[in-house]
Amino acid sequence: MLFFYILYASLLLLLAPFLVAGKGFGGFLLFFALSMGIPVAGSILWAWLWAPGNSAANVRVTIAFHVLAASLALIWLLSAA
């Protein structure tokens, strides 16, 4: 479970510049808290409602980042060490 939270926190740090631009440090903390509290739906909700720019593009980028992170985690977990 700790691995999931560490991986998800690093994903959010990569995703934050695209979704929190112009919101300041308080916006970043709110985004991070919402996304960690409701793991996948929180960041999609933020991208749809509060992120600057095109909402549809923000949701697509967020979903793409989540799929990429899940794929990399599965490849790492299922690889023969």
Mean pLDDT throughout 47-75? 94
The pLDDT mean for the chain works out to: 92
What does the domain layout of the chain look like in residue ranges?
A: 2-78
Mean pLDDT throughout 14-32? 93
CA gap 40, 1 in Å, rounded: 15
Output the pTM of the full model.
0.87
Token pair for residue 11? 């994903």
Per-residue pLDDT at 69: 92
CA gap 41, 71 in Å, rounded: 18
Per-residue pLDDT at 41: 95
Token pair for residue 65? 């980042």
Between 1 and 48, the higher pLDDT residue: 48
CA distances from 52 to 17, 20, 45, 68, 69 (A): 11, 7, 13, 23, 23
